[in-house]
Structure 1
Amino acid sequence: MALVKQSVEPNIANLLNGQLKEYGLDYKLEQDSLNSQIDNALKQYASKQGGAGGNRPDAKLLLQDKYGTSYPVLIEYKGYKDRLVKLNATGQADNTKGKGEPNYKNINDYAVNGAVHYANALLHYTDYTKVIAIGATGYKDGQGELHKQIGVYLVSKDNYGAGQEVGFYTDLSFLSRDYFDDFIERVKTLSLSPEELQKIKEQREREIEVSLTRLNNDIYQNEKGLGENDRIYLVAATIMATLGVPGRVKPLESSELLCSNEVGNRDGDIMIRKIEAFLREKSIPQDKQEYIVRQLQNTLTTEHINKAVNGETQLKRIFNKIVDDLGIYYKIGLTTDFTGKLFNEMYSWLGFSQDKLNDVVLTPSYVAQLLVRLTGVNKDSYVWDFATGSAGLLVAAMNEMLRDARNTISSPEELARKERHIKAEQLLGLEVLSNIYMLAVLNMILMGDGSSNIINQDSLKDFNGKYGYGKTDEPFPANAFILNPPYSAEGCGMVFVERALKMMSHGYAAVIIQSSAGSGKAREFNERILRCNTLLASIKMPIDLFLGKSSVQTNVYLFQVAKRHDPKSIVRFIDFSNDGYTRTNRKKASNNLRDTDRAKERYEEVVNLALHGKQYLKIFTEEEYYEGTIDPKSGADWNQSAPIDTRPTLQDFKKTISDYLAWEVSNLIKSQPTDEETLGK
């Protein structure tokens, strides 16, 4: 049996087959252990694509380096000239269209593109996190000479599945036993720049939104008998069951759901057992494990969802839809508010009043990062959020804390210890709604697990300021408070700010809130807050910040905690109406958020202006930045803007005189007779 299929140019296929045998690689494909997992993953991926995206790769290998680490190798062959690889503008395999959909033309036509596409199947459906994708082409020129090219790419969680060039070769000897370890050492040195990773991450985030919309629409339209809570719990349960813990808990596969009616062995029972094993290995506190399982059981063990119809339960069908549409994104470890996007998409189907709609809007990731940076979050911060929603703000804080730790700690052992401490003890979030709480827990698990102190409590009535799990007798030593509160709460949400700041002894707080909170609607709360805290900055945000989700004008208020506001204190007022982004709300648009005017630089400047003052004024004008004072007993003067000076200047006077003289001269010229008129007299 040929290892590489005979195609348009049989000579190159024969050559590759010969090289696989020459370098001792052909036996790898004949092993039963060559991984039925790999074969199953490729079959599932092909099924998901509905037959699109071509056949499966022409050759599959599973090679080990000297340390015993296994690397799947996928080889795709095209027998045409100039069909090795098609790259996009950022230098990655051009496998995605603008709307985040697969570009099957490129996947089918180009060897590397096809191999990268199949490699993503292994990231999606197996435990492998690094896959070698190889594209090979060969053709004969007019003189009958054979030309061949071999392009090698690494597809991994670290590059979000986009693929990264390793190099170009003339034969497959780099895969042989003699040279494979050297090849892997080269692979380990590969890295993408932060800018390249950010572009890939942004593309993947756009794809997530497309997939979430498609999934939610499918379940909403086609899966009857499920409420919105059921949809949320099914997504959370499926993700927990399929994440696995390397070496300890194998991810649940679709084939393990047996569609049995046997009590204790129904599909829901199987999923619950897998989730319990997952939560145990993640070292989540026991009482929290029990709470999560109880919440999920209510949905997973209902009779109708476990009843087999035509050999398949509704639960298994939905499980497959979730894994097919979302698996690739949560398995590659995107550091984004994944469940926040899910949260927004789920709630887009619900009929809320405008006030309630405003309460359930996801904070954009770049705004979450703004709040985190304003509060000076670093590796030693203790951060809490009293209306945590899907935990998007805490995700942003955790990412910043981990980044600072990695940049400042050189000892691997000390760094690992610090990372565990950050996740277990330096983050706390409160969410009163049980379904949203489940999303927050899931979000933090997906992001590396800072879920230990995500608490299902009413922060205004029940929370006592102490750790929720573990150190339950100790106060949480918060020194950074970030918040996007429900605007329908008292004082447009300022009640949460007052409550949190009362429990803090130092630090900073940043809150994005309805602007009317600072212009009179929260007067009493504001006056009480300023008795013990200082307002440092007021930032007017773009009116279309939540375009398509909410229609409120918002401000960001920055406080220094536990320092009474002095009437002479300077407050920095920033008009950030133009943040550099252009937003649209077109459902079929490939990207509804575009950087059209130095958005990243503007956000950087706003942080510097708010924290350090006017010397950082570069992009913004003096009409957009103003330093003034407020009356701490007013509570209604927090939204000031730069005053307009109506006094005339000397330059104004000179211009007026100049304009007047020009007008006089013009009139004089018009009143003089022409030469013809003079001669006619």
Structure 2
Amino acid sequence: MAQSIEPNIADLANGWLKSYKLDYKLEQESLNSQIDKALKEYESKGGGKGGNRPDAKLLLKDKNTNYFPVLIEYKGVKGKLEKLNSNGQVENKTAKNEPNFKNIKDFAVNGAVHYANALLHHTNYTDIIAIGMTGYKDAKGDIQHEIGVYFVSKDNLGVGQRVGDFSDFSFLADKNFDSFIEDVKNLHLTQEELDTLKAQKEKEIDASLVKLNNDIYQNEKGLGENDRVYLVAASIIATIGIPNKVPVLDKTDLKSQTFVGGRDGDIVIGRITAFLNEKGIPQEKKELIIRTLSNTLLTENINKVQNGESQLKRVFTKIVDDLGIYYKIGLTTDFTGKLFNEMYGWLGFSQDKLNDVVLTPSYIGTLLVKLARVNKDSYVWDFATGSAGLLVAAMNEMLNDAKESIPSPDELTQKQIKIKAEQLLGLELLSSVYMLAILNMILMGDGSSNILNKDSLADFDGNYGFGKTDSKFPADAFVLNPPYSADGNGMVFVQKALDMMNKGYAAIIIQNSAGSGKAREYCKKILEKHTLYASIKMPVDIFIGKASVQTNIYVFKVNEKHHKDEMVKFINFSNDGYTRTNRKKASNNLKDTDRAKERYEELVNLVRFGKSKLNIFSEKEYYEGNIDPTNGADWNQSAPLDTKPTLEDFKKTVSDYLTWEVSTLLKQRGDEGK
């Protein structure tokens, strides 16, 4: 019978490290101090509650000179290797999405994964090996041990993936490490696993944003809504860093000094300037960003020192501590969109104005981009950019197309640079929202795109805003979710953008009343030069929780006058396969309950290729018909009901009549019998 006697597991493990010539790397690697700093940072926020620091820390390098921190934690108790949740993930969160310090303290793997997340949050390392080891003495006095090896990365959102089963640490030896890393790099999450992780992270982001906003609102006086947005943007940009070029700004770098040049605001602006310089941001754009952020960061009040600390340092620390992990693990457009949706709530708009800046869900943005036929060679613009979500979707589509179709690595790199610098343009009037758009593009890996702080209706002449400012932007794809309070529910933006294009396609999502009379004059003018290609009725709850309006997507072919005999594709997409809720405590408010992915693919194919692509949808949901170009109020049509009776209808009617006759006759006879 096994006994729960704690053996000296550390001696066994350290013996392996010595035999594989790894022990010298425990203290001799210069970057080890950076790991220690990150772990201390995590502990200072409460991350070390209930648990010890890792028992061993290595920094190993593969054949491609990529560094991999390795954290090892020992537990000399049987059954304490790892604690997993029902999804098979390391259970380091409670039901309330708070750190589960009991599991982190008691289980070896959980502790190692916990501190691996500290490195994701507070260093530039994006791939970490977390190892847990436990053991016990059996009845004979022999040590029996278990080893759990997990890969913790920004690609798996810090949750960790099990690499495999190992009996010792020989996989870390120089001769085996490259092969081990190959196995690690081949790990992939299924879409279902990724969706589950996204839902978890969304709940965490919700809690973090609420905490951050309440904390700043209640405890930091003198900061307006715009100041909060600018502080978030500045703090994130300053802490992204560029490996080996621009170091991440740490809160310890802020000394809360009072002389000009040494104030915390000066230091943050200096780091942002270095980041933008290294990224090659156009000079005019860089100056605009720095000038806008400086208006908040260099004020006297925010740099005033009280109790040895400036208000800027306090707020910077809160932002990085609460949000840092989410952009360090590599925010997707889903996370970024959620971040910006929440931040919009901080801005002091009236309710009408707030409805005007409701963001397009990322999957709808991707749909618009596909309907506008965006590819690697497209030039895409958006006349009401908001947080640039549609441009991010377009950029991702263009980069994916380039990656799939350009085999030369050098040619692909040049194309990627061109896409980001020359093939995207957006306009946003509100300065605070404009700064969110800039931050969004930077988080998505680009800061060079032409996003302009201009009125697209009054101040835009169609030229590039940066770089080739004397040249027209050759737009051939237009995507838009306009402010609905503008003329014609926003159709005024559509008319101007389309009239400035020579070719291509456009896809807009707008209140459907624009196509049924409210924007009649704009619609008629648009059809004088452009073709309405498709009209798509969208689910009424797309913007649930933010706005409740019936919307349509209209797809246009640019610079071809609409003829009265033109066939328009009318599609009822009310059932897109998703079920939406607006419950704050729900783990996921968007669930695929009826082949949503397949429905969106079919919708794109129906718009482009027509009736032959009908599969999931029926002819009741897909209809090809005509509109009157001189009407302007007949853009929202549905398949006509067929009122012509069939033979089956006749048979049913006769059957129903005979049933009624027999029933009546039997009833009469029954009454007579009584």
Q: Smaller-chain TM-score range?
A: over 0.9
Name 1:172's counterpart in structure 2.
169
Note the C-alpha offset of 1:200. Answer: 3.8
2:442 maps to 1:445: yes
Letter in structure 2 aligned against 1:488: S
- More displaced, 285-294 or 183-192? 183-192
Name 2:116's counterpart in structure 1.
119
Letter in structure 2 aligned against 1:584: T
The residue matched to 1:10 in structure 2 has which SS? coil
Q: Deviations over 1:62-88 (max 9, x none)?
A: 223345432211012233444333445
TM-score (normalizing by structure 2): 0.94
Sort the Cα spacing of 1:471 and 1:8 in 2 relative to 1 into closer, same or farther, 3 A: farther
2:137 maps to 1:132: no
2:471 maps to 1:474: yes
| Distance in 2 (alpha carbons) for counterparts of 1:8 and 1:487 | 70
The residue matched to 2:432 in structure 1 has which SS? helix
2:427 maps to 1:395: no
| Structure 2 counterparts to residues 457-606 of structure 1, below 5 A | 457-606=454-603
Note the C-alpha offset of 1:371. Answer: 0.3
Letter in structure 1 aligned against 2:302: I
Letter in structure 2 aligned against 1:310: N
Letter in structure 1 aligned against 2:480: L
8 Å Cα contact 1:339/1:439 also seen in 2: no
Name 1:4's counterpart in structure 2.
none
Note the C-alpha offset of 1:100. Answer: 5.1
2:68 maps to 1:71: yes
Sort the Cα spacing of 1:617 and 1:98 in 2 relative to 1 into closer, same or farther, 3 A: farther
Sort the Cα spacing of 1:524 and 1:493 in 2 relative to 1 into closer, same or farther, 3 A: same
| Distance in 2 (alpha carbons) for counterparts of 1:109 and 1:625 | 59
Name 1:304's counterpart in structure 2.
301
Name 1:47's counterpart in structure 2.
44
| Structure 2 counterparts to residues 265-276 of structure 1, below 5 A | 265-276=262-273
The residue matched to 1:569 in structure 2 has which SS? coil
8 Å Cα contact 2:32/2:58 also seen in 1: no
Q: CA RMSD, aligned part only?
A: 2.4
Residue 234 (structure 2) aligned to one of 233, 237, 244: 237
| Structure 2 counterparts to residues 160-239 of structure 1, below 5 A | 160-192=157-189, 196-197=193-194, 199-201=196-198, 203-239=200-236
The residue matched to 1:366 in structure 2 has which SS? helix
Letter in structure 2 aligned against 1:411: S
Residue 360 (structure 2) aligned to one of 363, 368, 385: 363
- More displaced, 603-612 or 228-237? 603-612
Note the C-alpha offset of 1:211. Answer: 2.3
Q: Deviations over 1:396-454 (max 9, x none)?
A: 11111111111122221111111111111111111111111111111111101053311
TM-score (normalizing by structure 1): 0.93
Sort the Cα spacing of 1:81 and 1:635 in 2 relative to 1 into closer, same or farther, 3 A: farther
8 Å Cα contact 2:282/2:448 also seen in 1: no
Name 1:290's counterpart in structure 2.
287
The residue matched to 2:570 in structure 1 has which SS? strand
Note the C-alpha offset of 1:647. Answer: 3.4
8 Å Cα contact 1:382/1:427 also seen in 2: yes
Note the C-alpha offset of 1:319. Answer: 0.8
Q: Deviations over 1:471-501 (max 9, x none)?
A: 1111111111000011111111011111110
| Distance in 2 (alpha carbons) for counterparts of 1:99 and 1:347 | 25
Note the C-alpha offset of 1:102. Answer: 4.1
| Distance in 2 (alpha carbons) for counterparts of 1:574 and 1:23 | 65
- More displaced, 504-513 or 622-631? 622-631
| Distance in 1 (alpha carbons) for counterparts of 2:608 and 2:68 | 48
Sort the Cα spacing of 1:666 and 1:559 in 2 relative to 1 into closer, same or farther, 3 A: same
8 Å Cα contact 2:8/2:76 also seen in 1: no
Aligned residue pair count: 671
| Distance in 1 (alpha carbons) for counterparts of 2:95 and 2:567 | 46
8 Å Cα contact 1:60/1:74 also seen in 2: yes
Sort the Cα spacing of 1:674 and 1:551 in 2 relative to 1 into closer, same or farther, 3 A: closer
Note the C-alpha offset of 1:645. Answer: 2.8
| Distance in 2 (alpha carbons) for counterparts of 1:34 and 1:420 | 32
2:303 maps to 1:315: no
Note the C-alpha offset of 1:459. Answer: 0.8
8 Å Cα contact 1:341/1:362 also seen in 2: no
8 Å Cα contact 2:463/2:472 also seen in 1: yes
| Distance in 2 (alpha carbons) for counterparts of 1:592 and 1:53 | 34
| Distance in 2 (alpha carbons) for counterparts of 1:673 and 1:343 | 74
Letter in structure 1 aligned against 2:487: E
Name 1:641's counterpart in structure 2.
638
The residue matched to 1:182 in structure 2 has which SS? helix
- More displaced, 469-478 or 10-19? 10-19
Residue 154 (structure 1) aligned to one of 148, 151, 171: 151
Sort the Cα spacing of 1:98 and 1:555 in 2 relative to 1 into closer, same or farther, 3 A: farther
The residue matched to 1:671 in structure 2 has which SS? helix
Name 2:373's counterpart in structure 1.
376
8 Å Cα contact 2:420/2:449 also seen in 1: yes
Q: Deviations over 1:298-323 (max 9, x none)?
A: 10011111122222211111111111
- More displaced, 28-37 or 408-417? 28-37
8 Å Cα contact 1:422/1:450 also seen in 2: no
8 Å Cα contact 2:571/2:621 also seen in 1: yes
| Distance in 1 (alpha carbons) for counterparts of 2:623 and 2:103 | 53
8 Å Cα contact 2:199/2:588 also seen in 1: no
Q: Deviations over 1:83-138 (max 9, x none)?
A: 33344566543444576544445444433233222111111111112211112121
Unaligned runs of 5+ in 1: 1-6
- More displaced, 173-182 or 316-325? 173-182
| Distance in 2 (alpha carbons) for counterparts of 1:532 and 1:108 | 68
Note the C-alpha offset of 1:464. Answer: 1.1
**Percent identity of the aligned residues?**
70
The residue matched to 2:503 in structure 1 has which SS? coil
Note the C-alpha offset of 1:246. Answer: 1.5
The residue matched to 1:26 in structure 2 has which SS? coil
Unaligned runs of 5+ in 2: none
- More displaced, 659-668 or 338-347? 338-347
Name 2:402's counterpart in structure 1.
405
Sort the Cα spacing of 1:632 and 1:72 in 2 relative to 1 into closer, same or farther, 3 A: same
Q: Deviations over 1:600-637 (max 9, x none)?
A: 22222222222222222232333322221111111111
Name 1:329's counterpart in structure 2.
326
Sort the Cα spacing of 1:408 and 1:109 in 2 relative to 1 into closer, same or farther, 3 A: farther
| Distance in 2 (alpha carbons) for counterparts of 1:51 and 1:121 | 10
| Distance in 1 (alpha carbons) for counterparts of 2:98 and 2:526 | 49
- More displaced, 49-58 or 243-252? 49-58
Q: Deviations over 1:346-379 (max 9, x none)?
A: 2324564443122110110111011011111111
Name 1:262's counterpart in structure 2.
259
| Distance in 1 (alpha carbons) for counterparts of 2:515 and 2:257 | 59
| Distance in 1 (alpha carbons) for counterparts of 2:203 and 2:564 | 46
Q: Deviations over 1:268-303 (max 9, x none)?
A: 011111111110000001111111111011100111
| Distance in 2 (alpha carbons) for counterparts of 1:598 and 1:78 | 46
8 Å Cα contact 2:60/2:67 also seen in 1: yes
Sort the Cα spacing of 1:673 and 1:333 in 2 relative to 1 into closer, same or farther, 3 A: closer
The residue matched to 1:167 in structure 2 has which SS? strand
Note the C-alpha offset of 1:550. Answer: 1.2
